[in-house]
Amino acid sequence: MKALERPWPGPLRAATAQLEQYWQASRLPAFLRWWRRELIGGLPRRWRERLESSQHEQLLHWPEDALPQSPGYTDPARRRILLMPCEQVLLSRVQLPLAAAAQAHAALAFEMDKYTPFKAAQVYFDTLCEPREDRTKPVFELTLVVALRERIDAILDEAARNGLRIDAIDALDRNGARLQVNLLPAQRRPQERHPARRLRLGLALLGVGLLLVAMLLWLHNRQSALDAMTAEVSALRSASQQIQGLRQQLNDTLDTGRYVQTQRALALPRTELLRELSACIPADTWLEQLDIDAQGTLTLSAQSSQAGELIGKMKACGHLRNLQFQGGIQADASTGQDRLNLTAQLSSREERHAPAPDTP
């Protein structure tokens, strides 16, 4: 049987009704109908006929004696609905608790003899959900539409013998209006095929697929942009590191150049130093080795006949200070002179150019 309609809550029903009013008042439904006609008009004729015929229903009015025989009922593309007169069905108002809303069909089948003179095994039934007038009551109302099982089975058997397919069984009220129910047993309902529905489903799936593709493309573009930006940042970082390294090398080179230039400016010219040493060292003294390091320390090895007086004589060198022997004085038997090592500190440019102190 048809699945029961679960009653909606009041706010949801009101909101749905308001949205439906807005929808009907807008121009979008007319535009969609025009768009549908244009789309269907561009399809091949066979598809267009199938789509147009699938939107129509063929109503069969069942008299009490037999089903009518007419060539108009042989169109296989239409959905055939058999309409039963109000005298052939039983209508009953039923109240059920809200807790039974999800299992209303099972509850009605269990208590069918309570609401009708028949048992559930003797009838086919369907329901119409009534709007709730009083929202405070813990019950909801249904209209129970019941038809005898043997009568429905007889109609279906006769239709099968006549080669007539029945897609649904509806009933008429006392005013001749359709109740919009389906009394056809679920096991005997044909599988509905609606090309328009399939087309709408296909378009919906296509739209969802295109949306997913668009999202994936957007994510791919974002990821590509992020990868490109990351690579650019890495390249800029590497270039910055290279620039920092070159700048450090340049600073080191400049510092070294300034240091060398300063040392050259402060250092005593070697020719002047050699000339002064030649003047202040006695003639009986022979130099074996002379070293001057970067700090301006002079170290010399020599042999002299008067080693003890050498420091006193070398004090005449104005560019030397802190003269002192390094180690002891040793006699050299081969030359008959004393071997010695002497260290001194070269005076700086400021010391060399400083004015001499005033003597009293």
pLDDT tens sequence across 122-134:
999 888 876 666 6
> Mean of the pLDDT values across residues 227-239?
93
Residue 202: is its pLDDT beyond 60? yes
d(CA 125, CA 240): 83
Asked if residue 359 belongs to a domain, the reply is: no
| Same-domain pairing of 231 and 160 | no
Residue where a domain terminates, one of 142, 161, 193: 193
- 42 and 139 in a single domain? The answer is yes
Domain count along the chain: 3
**180 and 215 inside one domain:** no
φ/ψ of 57, rounded to 5, equals -115, 145
Q: Is there a domain that residue 278 lies in?
A: yes
Query: 317 versus 51: which is more confidently predicted?
Result: 317
Residue 292 lies in a domain: yes
First to last CA, the chain: 137
Does a structural domain hold residue 5?
A: no
Domain match, 34 and 171 both: yes
| 16 contact partners, CB below 8 Å, separation of at least 6 | 8
Mean pLDDT rounded to a whole number for the chain? 78
pLDDT of residue 243: 93
pLDDT at 342: 85
pTM over 0.85: no
Per the domain annotation, does 79 fall within a domain? Answer: yes
Give the per-residue pLDDT at 257: 83
Q: How confident is the model at residue 7 (pLDDT cuts 50, 70, 90)?
A: very low
pLDDT for 8 beyond 50: no
Nearest of 14, 165, 4, 174 to residue 88 by alpha carbon? 174
Residue 199 forms part of a structural domain: no
Do 69 and 214 belong together in one domain?
no
Kindly tell me if the per-residue pLDDT of 349 is higher than 90: no
For residue 275, what are the domain limits? 270-353
Does the residue 76 lie in any domain? Answer: yes
Q: Which of 55-59, 168-172, 229-233 has the lowest mean pLDDT?
A: 55-59
List, for residues 40-58, the tens digit of each pLDDT value: 777 787 776 666 555 567 7
176 with 256, same domain: the answer is no
Q: Is 2 within a domain?
A: no
Could you tell me the CATH number of the domain that includes residue 101?
Answer: 3.30.420
Q: Which two tokens stand for residue 240?
A: 């910055």
pLDDT 10s digits, 178-196: 888 888 888 877 665 556 6
pLDDT at residue 261, rounded to an integer:
73
Q: Domain with 313 in it: what CATH number? A: 3.30.1360.100
194-223 burial: b if 16+ Cβ within 10 Å, else e? ebeeebeeeeeeeeeeeeeeeeeeeeeeee
Looking at residue 71, its pLDDT comes to 43
Question: With pLDDT > 70 as the criterion, what percentage of the chain qualifies?
Answer: 75
**Same domain? 100 vs 117:** yes
For the purposes of burial, counting CB atoms within 10 Å of the CB of 115, is it exposed (0-12), middle (13-18) or buried (19 or more)? middle
Q: What is the pLDDT of residues 12-31, one digit of tens each?
A: 656 666 676 666 656 777 78
Domain boundary among 135, 162, 193: 193
250 and 303, same structural domain? no
Neighbours of 182 (CB within 10 A): 19
Residue that terminates a domain, selected from 193, 220, 236: 193
Separation CA 208–CA 94 (nearest Å)? 42
On whether both 297 and 215 belong to a single domain, the answer is: no
Same domain for 274 and 262:
no
Of 49-58, 76-85, 127-136, 329-338, minimum mean pLDDT range: 49-58
Statement to judge: residues 151 and 189 lie in one domain: yes
Output the pLDDT for position 201. 83
Q: pLDDT band at residue 274, thresholds of 50, 70 and 90?
A: confident
295 & 224 share domain:
no
